[in-house]
Amino acid sequence: MKVFIKTYGCQMNERDSESVLALLLGHGYLAAANEAEADVLIVNTCSVRGKAEDKAIGKLGLLAASKRKHPHRIVGAIGCMAQRRGTALLRLLPHLDFVIGTHRLDRLPAALDAVRLAAEPIVEIETSTGPRPDLAGHSPGKTSAFVNVLYGCNRHCAYCVVPLVRGEEWSRSMTDIETEVRHLTQTGVREVTLLGQSVLRYGVAQPVEENDDRLGSDYQTPFPRLLQRLQNIRGLKRIRFASAHPEGCTPELACAMRELPSVCEHLHLPLQSGSDRILAGMGRGYTSAEYVAAVARLREAAPDMALTTDVIVGFPGETTADFDATRALMDEIGFDNAFIFKYSPRPGSRAADWPDDVEDSEKRRRNQILLQEQDARCRRIYQRQIGRIAEVLVDGVSVRNAQRWTGRTRDNKIVLFDPAPDIIPGDQIMIRIESARAQTLYGSITESKVPCQCT
């Protein structure tokens, strides 16, 4: 049977979809190239915003309707919305065959077997806050890979349901992470992105087993220690991590980003608001001044640091003055990119019971202002790259232009270039940037191979 997975949401969901597909391939399933040829259609859902849930519900409805023409097709939901809604999702979409939450993804092969035998839909929802099954499978043939290091979240921001659908924080052992990354490099992966809802809290909520005293470390806190340990892996050229929090942007982290050659000069550091009053209401745990100080520590250690962020407009009680504070802080920081969202109440979050008192039309207006200002900021930043010689990790042929290849700089900017005969995916090359558009750089090769700095 062939399976196709449609994914909504964050990098954690992308990683879950990849690991679920690897799990199913190991049980004899085949990967479908598209929805039309699939026997099993899975939607990996997101609950962070109402719009994300609406998209997933709409997609599930369309796929379930396709069963009229394909009666043997299996359609189901996994992920955060599945975890949050559980059996209620079946009342909304009665033709679904299964609903599986975030803690029971390992049960998917058995659930699919049961679907073929049972007359009733299968629901697998685990509400335990303990460690979830760790699915470490990856899709072959990639130069970059996501690696989970921290599951769940203990921050409980007022607007967020992640702690409800992902559970409490649980850190994987350094040994397990190192083993996974070593295996990935043996299959051709040259860049990893370490994932966690608040990744810099790795090892904070509970101790992590290190299991190798011979390595030692120059760092005292778990996440920098993990970075140093992965730095020692032969063949690993780049390390990224997401998402961060200002609390974790310590002098020791800044030191690690300065001293460890594989750690890239790019960080996703959600801001959410530039107003101290709104930040306090959100429960973010920092002030605007503390956020600025965290950025300053990182940029002092790595002057070329590129920062991306998340911002919410229209949070309950947000005034024009609060919004203007966000605009001013975004301009002060100079983000390379920003993901800007209109606030929507999430059932189960603390803020869900508060008055949603910013009109939707005003949310849209504020959203558009920030998008326009960020677009102008991005254009200025990308224009400044022209003439620069950048180190690029080659991904391969561009999806949109088969005549060109694509790769990313250390600060995570996409570069398109004409290929050379001796270049393969995973190579590090030097490219002179010759032109720029929004979110894309264009250049030509000046040096086709860069010596690996890893040991």
Q: 242, 237, 286: which is closest to 262 by C-alpha? A: 237
Q: Which residue has the tokens 């092969």?
A: 109
Q: Is the peptide bond before 349 cis (omega within 30 degrees of 0)?
A: no
Question: Is pLDDT of 215 > 60?
Answer: no
Domain 2-124 has CATH 3.40.50.12160: yes
Residue 370, pLDDT score: 98
Question: Looking at the domain covering 138-264, what would its CATH class be?
Answer: alpha beta
Q: Where in the chain is the domain with CATH 3.40.50.12160?
A: 2-124
CA dihedral 380, 382, 387, 392 (to 10 degrees): 160
Average pLDDT, the chain: 93
Residue 34: Cβ-neighbour burial (10 angstroms; 0-12, 13-18, 19+): exposed
| CATH H superfamily, domain 389-447 | Nucleic acid-binding proteins (2.40.50.140)
- pLDDT tens for residues 289-336? 999 999 999 999 999 999 999 999 999 999 999 999 999 999 999 999
The predicted model gives 371-379 an average pLDDT of 97
State the DSSP code for 358: S
| DSSP run (H or E) holding 2 | strand 2-7
Please state the pTM of the whole predicted model.
Answer: 0.94
Q: Give the residue range(s) of CATH 3.30.750.210 domains in the chain.
A: 138-264
Strand pairing class (40-45; 74-79): parallel
Q: Is there a contact between 432 and 392 (Cβ–Cβ < 8 Å)?
A: no
Averaged pLDDT, 357-382: 98
Amino acid (one-letter) located at 84: R
- Give the count of beta carbons closer than 10 Å to the beta carbon of residue 201: 22
Span 27-38, average pLDDT: 96
148 pairs with which residues across the strands? 195
Residue 120 pLDDT class (50, 70, 90 cuts): confident
pLDDT given at position 455: 46
**Residue that has been written with the tokens 């009665």 in this structure:** 94
**What's the confidence (pLDDT) of residue 132?**
66
The yes-or-no verdict on residue 359 having pLDDT over 70 is yes
| Token pair listed for 170 | 């649980």
Cα–Cα distance for residue pair 210/238, rounded to 1 Å? 22
Where are the CATH 2.40.50.140 domain residues in the chain? 389-447
Q: Which band of pLDDT confidence, cut at 50, 70 and 90, is reported for residue 130?
A: low
Determine contact, residues 38/3, Cβ cutoff 8 Å: yes
Q: What mean pLDDT is predicted for residues 414-436?
A: 95
Convert 299-346 into a string of H (helix), E (strand) and C (coil): HHHCCCCEEEEEEEECCCCCCHHHHHHHHHHHHHHCCCEEEEEECCCC
